[in-house]
């Protein structure tokens, strides 16, 4: 069966510090991979998605970046965090032939920028 792992689960970072959130998927090949952010009490905002190694699409301009160094690994980064980067970050995956069906979320990472 497929599983998705995301870490760290929680982190508190000072403004201006770097960020690295990592996500890996097991039990499937060539998945689509996604990063979403959810601000406190708000909806799910699509940040990045990837349909293959090295292929990253950005939905919202910001000071975050994403990379996919391996087929089942997706990394969210920032060189300098802002207070507004605080939120709940969710990695997710879907089958390559997506067509709007199911995506599966990791357990999320709570980021507090202080």
Based on the shown chain and the rule CB under 8 A, indicate whether residue 69 belongs to the binding site for another protein.
no
Helix (H, G, I), strand (E, B) or coil at 65: strand
CB atoms within 10 A of CB 26: 10
Q: With contact defined as beta carbons under 8 Å apart, do 76 and 58 qualify?
A: no
Residue selected from 2, 3, 57, 112 as contacting another protein according to rule CB under 8 A: 57
Based on the shown chain and the rule CB under 8 A, indicate whether residue 90 belongs to the binding site for another protein.
yes
| Contacting range for another protein; rule: CB under 8 A; set: 12-20, 23-31, 62-70, 97-105 | 97-105
**Residue ranges binding another protein (CB under 8 A):** 32, 34, 36, 42-46, 49, 51, 57, 59, 90, 98-108
């Amino acid at each position: 069966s497929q599983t998705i792992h995301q870490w760290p689960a929680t982190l508190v970072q000072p403004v201006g510090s770097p960020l690295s959130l990592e996500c890996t998927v097991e039990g499937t090949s060539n998945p689509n991979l996604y990063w979403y952010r959810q601000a406190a009490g708000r909806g799910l905002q699509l940040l990045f998605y990837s349909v293959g190694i090295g292929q990253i699409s950005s939905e919202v301009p910001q000071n975050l970046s994403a990379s996919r160094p391996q087929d089942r690994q997706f990394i969210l980064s920032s060189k300098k965090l802002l207070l507004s980067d605080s939120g709940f970050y969710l990695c997710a995956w879907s089958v390559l032939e997506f067509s709007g069906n199911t995506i599966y979320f990791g357990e999320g990472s709570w980021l507090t920028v202080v």
